[in-house]
């Protein structure tokens, strides 16, 4: 159906946090179809978890919460990924004013790069999760700290395992 509202939610999700899961749940209610895109090669830093591991963790969290969404690993540009699944929306989360500048630049760039076909919706983080950042979770995990307040029990276990067997 051409007028179905399809959205993609691209990100590194290294690791997927409670903040990401909250957004997935809310986004799945807003759109007819939600496709979560797990970026294969996050440029920022060496990934803690492989892309397939990140995808599998998200899939099982969604199942456990009854959230209906597809999860795919992708590489390259978010607009190309969006176009490949017929999406006209890219979703991103907004945790604070500090996120806004980068997200606006990315939204404008993606709109132009897609010839105006694909727009971005920024969804505000729920206040109880707004402080959670994957980068900080990675740091705490690397330092041997307790990451259980920030991620699901399954994700915490996967991170512990990844550190034992990197
Ligand atoms: P990136 O895609 O920049 O690598 P992440 O994988 O950490 O970043 O996050 C993907 C998306 O999820 C981004 O739009 C980010 O703003 C959003 N996000 C990250 N953490 C949270 C959170 N705690 N609450 C809501 N949204 C979040």
Collapsed DSSP state (helix, strand, coil) of residue 38 = strand
Q: Tell me the per-residue pLDDT of 104-146, one tens digit each, with 9 for 90 and over.
A: 999 999 999 999 999 999 999 999 999 999 999 999 998 999 9
Of ligand 1's listed atoms, the one at least distance from the Cα of 124 is 25
Q: What is the pLDDT of residue 44?
A: 54
Angle at 130 between CA 124 and CA 135, to 5 degrees: 115
Q: What is the pLDDT of residue 1?
A: 46
Angstrom distance (rounded) from CA 91 to CA 49: 22
Encoded tokens for 35: 């496709």
Q: What's the 95 CA to ligand 1 centre distance in angstroms?
A: 8
Q: For residues 138 and 14, is the Cβ–Cβ distance under 8 A? A: yes
Angstrom distance (rounded) from CA 54 to CA 48: 9
Q: What is the pLDDT of residue 162?
A: 84
pTM of the shown model: 0.93
């Amino acid at each position: 159906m051409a007028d179905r509202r399809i959205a993609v939610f691209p990100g590194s999700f290294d690791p997927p946090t409670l903040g990401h899961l909250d957004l997935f749940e809310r986004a799945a209610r807003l759109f007819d179809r939600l496709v979560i895109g797990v970026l294969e090669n996050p440029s920022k830093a060496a990934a803690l978890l492989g892309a397939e591991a990140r995808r599998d963790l998200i899939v099982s969290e969604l199942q456990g919460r009854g959230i209906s969404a597809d999860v795919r690993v992708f590489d390259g540009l978010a607009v190309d990924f969006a176009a490949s699944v017929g999406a006209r929306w890219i979703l991103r989360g907004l945790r604070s004013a500090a996120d806004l500048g980068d997200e606006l630049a990315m939204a404008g760039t993606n709109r132009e790069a897609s010839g105006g076909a694909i727009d971005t919706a920024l969804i505000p983080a729920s206040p109880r999760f707004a402080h959670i950042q994957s980068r900080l979770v990675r740091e705490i995990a690397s330092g041997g700290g307790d990451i259980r307040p920030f991620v699901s029990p399954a994700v915490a276990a996967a991170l512990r395992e990844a550190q034992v067997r990197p």
